[in-house]
Chain A
Amino acid sequence: MTILTGQPPSEAIGYSFAKATSAPVREHSFYPYTDNGGSTLGISGSDFAILAGDTRSVAGYNINSRYVPKVFKIGGDDETGEGAHILLSVVGFAADGQALKERLDAVVKMYKYQHGKSMSVRACAQRLSTILYQKRFFPYYVHAILAGLDEDGKGALYTYDPVGSYEREQCRAAGSAASLMMPFLDNQVNFKNQYIPGSGEGHALEPKKAEPLPRKTVEQLVRDAFTSAVERHIEVGDGLQMMVVTKSGIEEVYYGLKQD
């Protein structure tokens, strides 16, 4: 305190109540965020995109619930989700994630009402960025991933930071176990550190070119990434929710994960 006020250190006995009166007035006694843990993962293919997330919700060392979805259909019917063609996953502070999802859903529905056609994934991605950036100084504390099919029918995946910076990627893991899953995906999806055997001597080895993977392979990679993350991260587990967008719609699959 003395350092902040520029006063010389006092010799007086420091009573706790005396100290409190000299404390600077700051509005910090309420902290509006919490971390609900969990992880999400998205991978795009040539004619599909997959978004997945575990279904555990935590508060500190407590498990709130074993089934709280992190992946949502956007722009579909509220009850059945029918008619949706875009997926959103949110991980971080669940209440902000929920609010963000509902705002984007309303935006996509208003777009359809006003223009009489569905919003493209590209437009939706741009809009999500502005929604996040509008709250630049009181952010939605989430890592969002948006998935769908682009104008050419190719899988599209857009990833965001909490304040709206975004880019289109092949593959991204987010959330508490992102640092565990991302290196695995770099290697298995983008073939980082993989070389073609016998293509050269020493450092002249030719790197293996990344190309879109078939759906079956991608689904297995997602399951492997999560089962491994469950082993090493306490906030990940209980269930794996996986959604796949293709031109014929959105499929949802659920696998159990370890509950320990």
Chain B
Amino acid sequence: MFRNNYDNDAVTFSPQGRIFQVEYAQEAVKQGSVVVGLVNKTHAVLVGLKRNAEELSSYQKKIIEVDSHMGIAIAGLASDARVLSNFMKQQSLSSRMTYGRPLPVDRIVSQIGDRAQTNTQHYGKRPYGVGLLVAGVDEAGPHLFEFQPSGMTHEMLACAIGARSQMARTYLERNLDKLQDTTRDELITHGLQALKETLSQDKELTVDNTSVGVVGLAAEGAKGRIESFKLYEGQLLVPLLEALERSEEGETKEESMEVDS
């Protein structure tokens, strides 16, 4: 019987040039519930679908504020995400302490990338079983980064990871051109719409299972240069979900009008 001899640790290549443990870790990401991230010229938005392990349990946290200019969305092992999140929090506090400035987003992302990579090159270590979307603002504007257990990081315009995330990616790819010129609220609605695409037939977005995080450049005349990271959960979501509903109605109307003409 066939047995894979190359997946006992995360540091051994298979003859085909693969590291199975890393690929298994990426499977863990695919099993996590979906999170979507997207940016326009002024804002970065994270949207996540929360799961509860059972009827009686609370919902798993999907979006974490790291600092006032940065937050992460997680898919995969939440406990591994906490380790990364704590590290990022420490680093951003230390940047503010030492230099008096918010930590540049690309820098912290490459730092966690490096940490993940060392896990794939030291015997006895295990890759992180979590993928992250990092949304933040720095000197150069809003950013979205994707992080994978392999240590791979990419700057993205829009991205989705986790279970059934392909549906969300398809939506984002189709609407990519529109995203750049959206307003803050429109961007959130697009994020929610992308998230909705991933749902199975019998499910819908509710105030209990949805989570939204927004960070961006401050509007003209506002106090400070950035709009601090804001997490929308529970009742705070109501207006956002209503906006989603309205935009869907608008679309169906447009479509029906086209049919008429």
CA gap between A106 and B96 in the complex, in Å:
10
- A211 within 8 Å of B (CB atoms): no
Partner of A106, one of B93, B102, B223, B226: B93
Whether the pair A113, B96 counts as a contact (CB closer than 8 A) is: no
Whether the pair A102, B97 counts as a contact (CB closer than 8 A) is: yes
Chain A contacts of B65 at CB under 8 A? 113
Whether the pair A79, B93 counts as a contact (CB closer than 8 A) is: no
Whether the pair A80, B224 counts as a contact (CB closer than 8 A) is: yes
- B119 within 8 Å of A (CB atoms): no
- A210 within 8 Å of B (CB atoms): no
CA gap between A113 and B67 in the complex, in Å:
9
A205-219 interface bits toward B, Cβ cutoff 8 Å, 1 = contact, 0 = none: 000000000000000
Partner of A77, one of B97, B100, B224: B224
Whether the pair B225, A109 counts as a contact (CB closer than 8 A) is: no
Chain B contacts of A77 at CB under 8 A? 68, 224, 228
Chain B contacts of A113 at CB under 8 A? 65, 89
Nearest CB of A to B61, in Å: 9
Partner of B93, one of A80, A82, A110: A110
Whether the pair A78, B93 counts as a contact (CB closer than 8 A) is: no
Chain B contacts of A110 at CB under 8 A? 89, 93
B80-96 interface bits toward A, Cβ cutoff 8 Å, 1 = contact, 0 = none: 00000000010001001
Whether the pair A106, B224 counts as a contact (CB closer than 8 A) is: no
Chain A contacts of B224 at CB under 8 A? 77, 79-80, 82
CA gap between A237 and B68 in the complex, in Å:
35
Whether the pair B223, A82 counts as a contact (CB closer than 8 A) is: yes
Nearest CB of B to A113, in Å: 6
CA gap between A109 and B65 in the complex, in Å:
11
B211-241 with Cβ < 8 A to chain A: 223-226, 228
Whether the pair B68, A106 counts as a contact (CB closer than 8 A) is: no
- Output the nearest chain B residue to A103 by Cβ-Cβ distance: B97
- Output the nearest chain A residue to B226 by Cβ-Cβ distance: A79
A43-100 with Cβ < 8 A to chain B: 77-80, 82
Chain A contacts of B68 at CB under 8 A? 77-78
CA gap between A106 and B224 in the complex, in Å:
20
Whether the pair B97, A79 counts as a contact (CB closer than 8 A) is: no
Whether the pair B225, A79 counts as a contact (CB closer than 8 A) is: yes
CA gap between A82 and B89 in the complex, in Å:
19
B63-111 with Cβ < 8 A to chain A: 65, 68, 89, 93, 96-97, 100, 102
Chain A contacts of B225 at CB under 8 A? 79
Nearest CB of B to A115, in Å: 13
Chain B contacts of A106 at CB under 8 A? 93, 97
Whether the pair A80, B97 counts as a contact (CB closer than 8 A) is: no
B12-56 with Cβ < 8 A to chain A: none
CA gap between A149 and B260 in the complex, in Å:
63
CA gap between A77 and B102 in the complex, in Å:
11
CA gap between A82 and B229 in the complex, in Å:
13
Chain B contacts of A78 at CB under 8 A? 68, 96, 100, 102
Nearest CB of B to A140, in Å: 16
Nearest CB of A to B224, in Å: 4
- Output the nearest chain A residue to B66 by Cβ-Cβ distance: A113
A-B interface, 4 closest residue pairs, ranked by CB to CB distance from nearest: A80-B224, A79-B224, A80-B223, A77-B68
A to B CB contacts below 8 Å, 21 in the list? A77-B68, A77-B224, A77-B228, A78-B68, A78-B96, A78-B100, A78-B102, A79-B225, A79-B226, A80-B224, A82-B223, A82-B224, A82-B228, A102-B97, A106-B93, A106-B97, A109-B93, A110-B89, A110-B93, A113-B65, A113-B89
